[in-house]
Chain A
Amino acid sequence: DGGITQSPKYLFRKEGQNVTLSCEQNLNHDAMYWYRQDPGQGLRLIYYSQIVNDFQKGDIAEGYSVSREKKESFPLTVTSAQKNPTAFYLCASSRARGMNTEAFFGQGTRLTVV
């Protein structure tokens, strides 16, 4: 079955450590997105990528980094520079604009930094 997979579902890290969240899709989608969800703030865009080897900052990119070396993979690294990293992180993918651009979401990763 085609879909988008995030791992792990729950992640605990000590303050000051970098951590990488995985996102893989087998939908052959060009576009991939990372969102952060906090209570009452909706989904805020961290980074997005429309094509392999290219990505753009979203609205809250500070303290995060991404790579897009393969079409199916878009990992997100939460660095020690992110001041408040505890949150629910969602990855999504969609076809290129101009087509049916429905976004498919992964099940999310809940990151807790202690």
Chain B
Amino acid sequence: QQPVQSPQAVILREGEDAVINCSSSKALYSVHWYRQKHGEAPVFLMILLKGGEQKGHDKISASFNEKKQQSSLYLTASQLSYSGTYFCGTEIDSFGNEKLTFGTGTRLTIIP
């Protein structure tokens, strides 16, 4: 039941843009995005609720296509600090099933 993330890994030069995708086979109530640095706890970036909204956070933004059960995370003009592994977390849209399930992650490496 894990959501599927793509790509698994990406290497960028500083200043380049990246897109990370997350898809689910189930109808979604919400999509979360987190970033984890090596050896540390994941840190919350943003949450999107069903309704197809798009959110922004500095140069990091995300969209949620409810019909396709997909979300994308956009990182523009990437900085060295953006390096890490990005996880999407999903909540399925049904009562009695309020659990947060994460994807396998996308490792992002930013080089100078």
For the complex, is A100 an interface residue (Cβ under 8 Å from B)? yes
The answer on a CB contact under 8 Å between B32 and A103 is yes
The answer on a CB contact under 8 Å between B41 and A42 is no
Listed stretches B12-20, B55-63, B74-82, B96-104; interface member: B96-104
Size range of the interface on A?
A: 20 to 34
CA of A47 to CA of B104 in the docked complex: distance in angstroms?
A: 18
Contacts of A102 in B (CB 8 A): 32, 44, 47
What's the dominant secondary structure at chain B's contact region? strand
For the complex, is A113 an interface residue (Cβ under 8 Å from B)? no
CA of A104 to CA of B44 in the docked complex: distance in angstroms?
A: 7
The answer on a CB contact under 8 Å between A101 and B41 is no
Contacts of B91 in A (CB 8 A): 97, 101
The answer on a CB contact under 8 Å between B105 and A31 is no
The answer on a CB contact under 8 Å between B42 and A59 is no
The answer on a CB contact under 8 Å between A59 and B98 is no
Contacts of B1 in A (CB 8 A): 59
For the complex, is B64 an interface residue (Cβ under 8 Å from A)? no
Contacts of A92 in B (CB 8 A): 100
Digit string of B50-73 for contact with A (CB within 8 Å is 1, else 0)? 000000000000000000000000
| Residues of A near any B CB (own CB < 8 A) | 31, 33, 35, 40-45, 48, 50, 56, 58-59, 90, 92, 94, 96-97, 100-108
| Residues of B near any A CB (own CB < 8 A) | 1-2, 5, 29-30, 32, 34, 40-44, 47, 87, 89, 91, 98-105
